[in-house]
Amino acid sequence: MGCYVLDFQEIDQTQVAVVGGKGAQLGELSRIEGIRVPVGFCVTTDAFQRIMAEAPSLDQRLDRLSLLKPNDWEAIRALSAEIRRMVEAIAIPDDLDAAITGSLTRLGQRAACAVRSSATAEDLPTASFAGQHDTYLNIVGPAAVLRHVSRCWASLFTERAVTYRLRNGLDHRKVHMAVVVQQMVFPEAAGILFTADPVTGNRKVASVEASFGLGEALVAGLVNADVYKVHEREVVARVVGAKQVAIQASGAHGTRKEAIEPERQRQPALTNTQVVRLAQLGRRIEAHFGRPQDIEWCLVDDDFLIVQSRPITTLFPIPAVDDRENHVHVSVGHQQMMTDPMKPLGISVWQLTAARPMYEAGGRLFVDVTQALASPASRAGLVAGLGRSDPLIGAALQTILERGDFIRSLPDQPPGEPPPGVAPASIETDPAIVAELIARSEASIAALKRDIRMQSGPPLLDFILADIQELKRILFVPQSLQVIVAGMQATWWLNEQLQAWLGEKNAADTLTQSVPHNVTSEMGLALLDVADVIRPHPEAVAFLQLQLQLEHLQDDDFLDELARVEGGREARDALQAWLDKYGMRCVGEIDITKPRWSERPTTLVPMLLGNIQNFEPGAGKRRFEQGRQAAWKKEQELLERLRALPDGEQKAEETRRMIDRVRTFIGYREYPKYGMISRYFVYKQALLEEAERLVLAHVLREKEDVFYLTFQELRDVVRTQQVDHQLVRQRMDAFRSYQALTPPRVLTSDGEVIAGSYQRDDLPDGALVGLPVSSGTVEARARVVLDMARADIEPGDILVTAYTDPSWTPLFVAIGGLVTEVGGLMTHGAVIAREYGVPAVVGVEHATRLIRDGQRIRLHGAEGYIEILA
């Protein structure tokens, strides 16, 4: 027989599997000195499993429930209701009844109780499940308590709980329900305490929400609660809400709404002294659990009782720095166009490759810019350089400087290394320089592919570590950096000078169309050539259309199956040749663990079919030539207009040199990353072969487990032939939780998210503002696309997405405009949009939420805003 009931004093936070998240937290809370918790007990998960075993027919229904999709709302509603009815109808066995009523006697047979669900997957660091299961208040008498315990068991299968589990990939059978039975308290006021500001994330600011009566009025949104902010034992902000109703215990059982007298509605529910005292209790609880807490509290006779505490799961973690100084961290992902979380192997390989130290938090990487921000000699260049990369980052850093309360200014120092984006560009404009840089990189990659085949075991890891130094040498060779910066500075010069001389806005947008040596734009046009090969073969096209309809695509057999249909061999060979050159790319390619196109060629099927259906043969070459001609005509027009100005010949000659410079160098901007990703794919293939050997040796369970180890940890595993499986599981769980977090552009060591903004008052009402990166105005249908593999784009559509890295380029040949949430003037999407002549606005916050898929919008690429049309 299982253990069916445990008092709070018998419970600690390690017993989640027995008493659920809420029960474990309450048991642990009751152990903290100075924290008062209403007395109670838990009906354990053993009792729940005993009840579920009483109805074997539930198994079949749970099987059906597991097969549903999160958006199968009607099916979820019907099946979950059926399961709840069955659970509530199960009679509680006599021994279980006796155990519960015996514990109830210790609270008092007629004592009013709170009966609260406590699932094993709630109130956890990685999943809060807040509000998913049921709570019942002011329940009096053994029969009523038992009835509501059954209802709590059944609430494991509410529609919202079932949907939540389906969305988070949780097995219905592995989540069990305990029930908390707790002495009811009848407070003067109640509410929620966050030990970190839930809006800004600042860990040094506590936020208190308070209302009269029970806290359910606040949770249900029935009142505008009082809100207090506390910083270092001082209330720094207070807003008193209009509290028109309170939830109070009713006479017999349950609760009722009660109107608050008009003269009390604007009275604060707490005094400042009480707020500070509550915040100090919160700090004690936070210190005990080791992370910020979301705490439910009640005020009874000027004493605070704590009725629940759970981790705040929505806060973005803070990069760990070993000192106690203030730090400012800037997101790497917003500059690399990859804001998704990275797995540990991907993070560590990127850190090994980077030129400067990077800190991990929430599966993302950050650079500490504190020193540069504190130094008068470097701060202006830092803000300007990062502002060009992403204006909202620049604005956020400027906000920190203007506040003057976080970064202490250092004594003026002589300039050190140039800040990002302003390195000297003293280099001759010579196309041979670019060709030689590319040739050197390709020769080095060829040598890597040849030599790595002979490596395995510990020498393989050592070999890769040594080759990363070669990669860094190639990435940061001065001549390569000079070429990149020369192209960027020439772009800025053209835009600034031609606007000053001719009133011509963003002239470089046209002048940079169809430049040579842009490996990313060439990739998109080359996929049009692949479509040309496939288009004449109906059976090959039909095969691709069938693949699009299949729910589970077989990447391993895809190319072989394609070759078996009529015309498929030619199609396979063309696609394979394309993959040989570009197949190391993918969405989020800076993470070595992401699946590459060569590994999942079916990812390309929607784009191939779009190209086959929407373009005529030869479209790739025509598109490139049209861009080249447009750039040449623009150059002639500008030079002619300049010559008509005072000192016109000199201005025209300067402009011609800068046009020559930008067209010679700007295409190379995309190549170093292409070379790096090429090497990453070679590393990945070798590491996965090593992982397969570890699986055969029964060291690893799955070869992809290596993705959840850092590079150094993987070296140790290969050397010792031992792995910590629990660590791998913890990393998997953490990665899943990171996927729900939105990374900030700028984050302080206090955990405060600093959000920049665009300061403009010249826009139409309701316009969405961003950064203009590619000129032109286009009005068309918006297609909001979050997964490139599912993009349904027709020619002329405006693509709206979170970010675009080089992998999105094949879509650019069809779109009429581009809107992204992340980006800057020189990020990949902006560069390719200009080269293809696609109007684009980037850095539009929340664009994928504010613009609905299918809406008609007007994009102003030169002015930097979007209008949502009726």
CB atoms within 10 A of CB 866: 27
Burial 794-818 (b: 16+ CB within 10 A, else e): eeebbbbbbbbbbbbbbbbbbbbbb
**Regarding beta strands 865-868 and 856-860, do their DSSP bridges make them parallel or antiparallel, or are they unpaired?**
antiparallel
3-state DSSP assignment of residue 34: coil
CA dist 374 and 372 (Å) reads: 5
- Asked whether the beta carbons of 264 and 188 are under 8 A apart, the reply is no
Q: Which helix (H) or strand (E) holds 360?
A: strand 359-361
Q: Which residues contact 278 (CB under 8 A, 6 or more apart)?
A: 193, 208, 270, 297, 304
- Asked whether the beta carbons of 629 and 493 are under 8 A apart, the reply is no
Token readout for 673 is 């990353």
Of 588, 596, 585, 593, the C-alpha closest to 709 is 593
Chain centre to alpha carbon of residue 529 = 34
- Asked whether the beta carbons of 351 and 711 are under 8 A apart, the reply is no
How many CA atoms are closer than 13 Å to the CA of 168, on its beta-carbon side?
23
CA dist 673 and 806 (Å) reads: 9
CA dist 161 and 83 (Å) reads: 13
847 Ramachandran zone, left/alpha/beta (phi>0; psi -120 to 50): alpha
Q: Where are the alpha helices (DSSP H) in 213-318?
A: 216-219, 262-265, 272-289
Token readout for 322 is 């070993």
How many CA atoms are closer than 13 Å to the CA of 469, on its beta-carbon side?
5
> What amino acid occupies position 366?
F
- Asked whether the beta carbons of 241 and 227 are under 8 A apart, the reply is yes
- Asked whether the beta carbons of 332 and 356 are under 8 A apart, the reply is no
Question: Considering Cα of 312, then 317, then 321, then 324, what sign does the dihedral take?
Answer: negative
CA dist 597 and 605 (Å) reads: 11
Q: Is 133 a catalytic residue?
A: no
Among residues 133, 172, 828, 860, the one annotated as catalytic is: 828
Of 609, 612, 606, the C-alpha closest to 553 is 606
**Regarding beta strands 777-784 and 798-801, do their DSSP bridges make them parallel or antiparallel, or are they unpaired?**
parallel
CB atoms within 10 A of CB 545: 13
CA dist 832 and 171 (Å) reads: 43
> What amino acid occupies position 650?
Q
> What amino acid occupies position 382?
L
Of 296, 259, 25, the C-alpha closest to 185 is 296
DSSP character string of 433-453: HHHHHHHHHHHHHHHHHHHHT
Question: Considering Cα of 588, then 592, then 598, then 599, what sign does the dihedral take?
Answer: negative
Write out the catalytic residue numbers.
Answer: 828
